[in-house]
Chains A and B, each alone.
Chain A
Amino acid sequence: MEKKVLLGNEAIARGAYEAGCHVAAAYPGTPSTEILETMARDYPVIRSQWSPNEKVALEVAAGASVAGARALAAMKHVGLNVAADPLFTFSYTGVNGGFVIINADDPGAWSSQNEQDNRHLARAAKVPMLEPADPAECKEFTKLAFELSEKYDRPVIVRITTRIAHSQGLVEIGERKDVPVKPAPRDPKKYVMLPAHARPRHKFIEEQHLRIKEYSNTSGLNRIEWGNRKRGIITDGVAYQYVKETCPGDSVLKIGMVWPMPDDVIREFAAGVENLYVVEEIDPFIEEYVKSLGIKAIGKEIIPLCGELTPEIVDAALNGKQFPPALPDYNTEIPARPPGLCKGCPHGFVFTVLKKLDLIVNGDIGCYTLAALPPYSAMHTQGCMGASIGMHLGFEKAHGPEMAAKTVAVIGDSTFVHSGITPLIDLVYNKGTGTVIILDNRGTAMTGHQDHPGTGKTLMGEQTHELDLAMLARAVGVKRVVTVDPKDMDEFERVVREETAAREPSVIISLRKCILKM
Chain B
Amino acid sequence: MKNIIFAGVGGQGVILASKILMEVAKQAGFDVKESEIHGMAQRGGSVDCHVRYGEKVYSPLIEKQSADVIVSLEQLEAMRKLSLLAPGGTMIINLEKVDPAPVQTGEKKYPDDIEKWVSTNIAKHRLVDTTAVLKELGTKKALNIVMLGVLSNHLEFTEKQWETAIRSLVKEKFVDMNLQAFRKGREL
A245 contacts the other chain (Cβ, under 8 Å)? Answer: yes
Chain A residues closer than 8 Å to B177, beta-carbon distance: none
Q: In whole Å, how far is B42's beta carbon from the nearest beta carbon of chain A?
A: 7
Give the distance in Å from the alpha carbon of A155 to the alpha carbon of B103 in the complex: 51
Q: Which of B61-69, B129-137, B139-147, B180-188 contacts A (4 or more CB under 8 A)?
A: B61-69
A328 near B121: Cβ-Cβ < 8 Å: yes
A429 contacts the other chain (Cβ, under 8 Å)? Answer: no
Chain B residues closer than 8 Å to A166, beta-carbon distance: 35-38
Q: Which of B28-62 contact A (CB under 8 A)?
A: 31-46, 57-62
Count of A-B contacts judged by CB separation below 8 Å: 153
- Knowing A166-B35, A337-B44, the reply to whether A312 touches B63 (Cβ < 8 A) is yes
B43 near A310: Cβ-Cβ < 8 Å: no
Chain A residues closer than 8 Å to B63, beta-carbon distance: 245-246, 310-312, 315
A1 contacts the other chain (Cβ, under 8 Å)? Answer: no
Q: In whole Å, how far is B61's beta carbon from the nearest beta carbon of chain A?
A: 6
B61 near A163: Cβ-Cβ < 8 Å: yes
Binding site for A on B (CB under 8 A): 9-10, 19, 22-23, 26, 31-46, 57-65, 76-77, 79-80, 82-83, 85-87, 100-103, 105, 107-111, 113-114, 117, 121-122
A335 near B109: Cβ-Cβ < 8 Å: yes
Q: Which of A55-63, A167-175, A397-405, A476-484 contacts B (4 or more CB under 8 A)?
A: A167-175
Ordered by A's residue number, 8 sampled pairs between the chains whose C-beta atoms are within 8 Å are A5-B22, A169-B60, A326-B85, A327-B85, A332-B111, A337-B76, A337-B77, A339-B43
A244 contacts the other chain (Cβ, under 8 Å)? Answer: yes
Give the distance in Å from the alpha carbon of A326 to the alpha carbon of B102 in the complex: 29
B60 near A327: Cβ-Cβ < 8 Å: no
A316 to B, closest residue via Cβ: B64
- Knowing A166-B38, A335-B109, the reply to whether A5 touches B23 (Cβ < 8 A) is yes
Select one of B33, B36, B43 contacting A367, CB under 8 A.
B43
Q: In whole Å, how far is A335's beta carbon from the nearest beta carbon of chain B?
A: 4
B102 near A169: Cβ-Cβ < 8 Å: no
Give the distance in Å from the alpha carbon of A205 to the alpha carbon of B45 in the complex: 47
B32 near A170: Cβ-Cβ < 8 Å: yes
B85 near A336: Cβ-Cβ < 8 Å: no
Give the distance in Å from the alpha carbon of A246 to the alpha carbon of B113 in the complex: 36
Size of A's binding interface in residues, CB under 8 A: 48
Binding site for B on A (CB under 8 A): 3, 5, 30-31, 33-34, 110-111, 134, 163, 166-170, 238, 240-242, 244-246, 310-312, 315, 323, 326-328, 330, 332-342, 367, 370, 374-375, 446-447
B1 to A, closest residue via Cβ: A245
Select one of A3, A244, A327, A336 contacting B121, CB under 8 A.
A327
Chain A residues closer than 8 Å to B65, beta-carbon distance: 323, 326
B101 near A169: Cβ-Cβ < 8 Å: no
Chain A residues closer than 8 Å to B32, beta-carbon distance: 5, 168-170
Chain A residues closer than 8 Å to B62, beta-carbon distance: 311
Q: In whole Å, how far is A309's beta carbon from the nearest beta carbon of chain B?
A: 9
Q: In whole Å, how far is A282's beta carbon from the nearest beta carbon of chain B?
A: 17
Give the distance in Å from the alpha carbon of A333 to the alpha carbon of B76 in the complex: 10
- Knowing A5-B19, A312-B64, A335-B109, the reply to whether A374 touches B40 (Cβ < 8 A) is no
- Knowing A5-B23, A326-B85, the reply to whether A334 touches B39 (Cβ < 8 A) is no
B82 near A31: Cβ-Cβ < 8 Å: no
B35 near A311: Cβ-Cβ < 8 Å: no
A374 near B105: Cβ-Cβ < 8 Å: yes
Chain A residues closer than 8 Å to B114, beta-carbon distance: 332
Chain A residues closer than 8 Å to B59, beta-carbon distance: 238, 241-242, 244-245, 311
Select one of A170, A330, A374, A446 contacting B39, CB under 8 A.
A446
Q: Which of B61, B65, B111 has the most CB of A within 10 A?
A: B61
Chain A residues closer than 8 Å to B80, beta-carbon distance: 334
B42 to A, closest residue via Cβ: A339
